[in-house]
Structure 1
Amino acid sequence: MDKMTWRNIDPLSLDETIDEGKEEKDVEKRSASVWEHQELAQIPIKVLRGHTDAVTSCHFCFDDTKVLTSSHDKTAILWDTETGAALLVFERGHLSGISECAVIPDKKRLITASWDKTLNAWDLETGKIIWTAPQAGLLTSCSVSEDGKYVVSSCDPESAICLTSADTGERLFHIKDHHKSTITRCRFDPQSQHVASVSVDRTIKLWDLVSTKTTLSINSTHTNVVSNCCFTANGRYLCTASWDKTLQLWDVQTGTFRSHGGLTLSKGHDGSVSSCTFSMDGSVLVSGAYDRTVAVWNMETLCKTLELKGHADWVTDVAISADKKWVASASKCEECGKAFSISRLENSDLVTKCVFCRLKTETRSHLQPPPLSSSVLSIEDRNQIPSSTSSSVV
């Protein structure tokens, strides 16, 4: 990533000039992207390249046959999971970075939320924009209801959530000052009845689509920004990730947290937790953090069963395939830009290079600042977990 690319991360930089020559080169680079295998890695890994700036979100979709990503480079890409080919690049629809994307499989539509204050709906077959919905501020998050009818987005500086028709882009509801500070994530529950939102103000809120009111407000016990949230498939539990380096589980259906508080999952990360997601059956939780690691949790035993190390930059988002075989995360290698993983049995915490870069040097270098290189998305195979890997019980 060059120095000019970094300015895209500033949400206020919406008037920057577009280098058409650079964009043409970027398109050529994406079209040539294929899986890069690291045969010597302890955990099988594939690297998907194409974005030219930080990857902001990643999702498995269409029965795990596709991977969808969005980036600060103002584009979203639909990838073939098996071959790693970029099937379609969604570009020239935003003037600033895309903060998050979501897919509506039944309607074959892609939703993108951007810092340029717009929400776009794209046709997944043609790559054309179906509608554009201007918003009151820069968008920090978006989510699509399970029934495919609605899109919810959060915007700043109004700390608002906005409900939009997924078919037409018509604004249905706009709730200003829903939180006291920036909303970091908003999520529909699997039943398409509630919208959960978390914020810099450390609160959690559930907004009801039927009554159009906030039906639950939780002053979390997180001691820092609540950065992300996710539901289990049955909608009973909500997990929150925080900059206080912990995750918390909340039983939002029975409300048992009112007397006992949320269940804290600690000792999983040494840095601020940025992302979290449940597997379809709720048995596995995956989290990513600014300490450049990804953690895999067993929800039955509350053990951290696997820790993926080696990222040379923040992990901004994580995803897990429906069959629980693959975990996706955004990462970079300090030297070559490739993503990689190592076992928790690795003796050193200072590993910042892939196995090939390490083989070129006699000694391991100390941790360095994030490199100025292209962003990548890494996908690791969870089937190859070493049997002797230790767990952390919380």
Structure 2
Amino acid sequence: MTSLAEALAESPVKDEPRENADIAYGEDGKPIGGEFTGIRSEKPLTDWSHIFEKFQLDPALFEIVGDTVRASTWQQSKRLEGGQRDVVQLYSYRAMFRRKSDAIDLPALYAAAASKPRRPLIPVENDRTMVVVLSDVQAGKTGSRGGTPDLVERMAETRARLEKRLRARRPVRLVLAEAGDLFEGFESGGNPMFTNDLSLAQQMDLAATELFEFVKLMQRFGPVEVMAVPSNHTAWRHGKQNLGRPSDDLGLHVHRQVAKLAQAAGLNAHWNFPRDYDESMALDIGGTVLGLVHGNQYTPGRAIDWWAKQTHGGQPVAEADVLITGHYHHFAAQPTGRNVRTGRAKWWLQAPTLDNGSDWFRNVQGDDSNPGLLVFDITGDGFDLQSLTVL
């Protein structure tokens, strides 16, 4: 019987491919990488140094691209020193290689970054502007969170939390953005004649008092810019019919009276209003533009679509980096688009309410939001997302 060794000896030797290195060169004429083919070995190949040397490549400068290694193996008869024959296992490899400088060595990168000397932190002048968003107070409204006594208590507690934050953060400038529906009114739909506990004159008086208290607190910590926009609850209207111009809004009328009172009292505050026929406005705070609109101009969930159209049409909020909205009584924040001048993301911020409860919405949708005061900072780097909070 013919042995396996004899059979292999009698069979033709497998024609192995010639060892080859296909080398690519850079513009400077130096090798940058390539591919090895037909590399033969009698043992599994783990160290390629001698292969690089065989083709006049420095092993210290080159490396194998690990996921490109391909190997095949076969048996072959080999004559021993005593004349006998034996069966040996042979291997053939192909692999891509590259200069080590072209590879990304993550451990080395992290080690280098950790050992790099750090520049000492240089204290910079505080350039923080705090923005306080007062939205949907709806003074005079009664609901599941109570009536006017409960609102007055809630507003006082909110100002106490705001004062604590002002003391901690010490802004150099402040913005009070009043996002509309400062009082409830009687022409906003529903049945407010039976859900209000104040007359219209009393509602406006309470709204003015609360607004003045916020301005008086905030101006103790720096100059205050007040932003105010018209809204559906405070509009001059007969039923669903708006009367006059957007600037004839009764909420804006309250602001104008408070502005006179603040000036007479020597408070460090300045008021900003939309143009007579506009319902939105924008204010530049050190290069970051704040946009403000109540939100009754669009249907639920369409704030960003509305903003995009305002931008296309060159309206007041066209250049805004941050758009503040009210009306929908819940908190939301979403990045959208990018400022082409600064490269920073634009942000839409939906402010929560401070009212006594939106029970009609809760009964229809099964959901309600907690009352709160939206607060955030603007620095020299723009909108400070980490500062965003609800008090």
Which structure has greater helix proportion? Answer: 2
User: Which structure's relative contact order is higher, taking Cα pairs within 8 Å and 6+ residues apart?
Assistant: 2
Q: What is the TM-score of this pair, normalised by structure 2?
A: 0.27
Q: What is the TM-score of this pair, normalised by structure 1?
A: 0.27
Which structure has greater strand proportion? Answer: 1
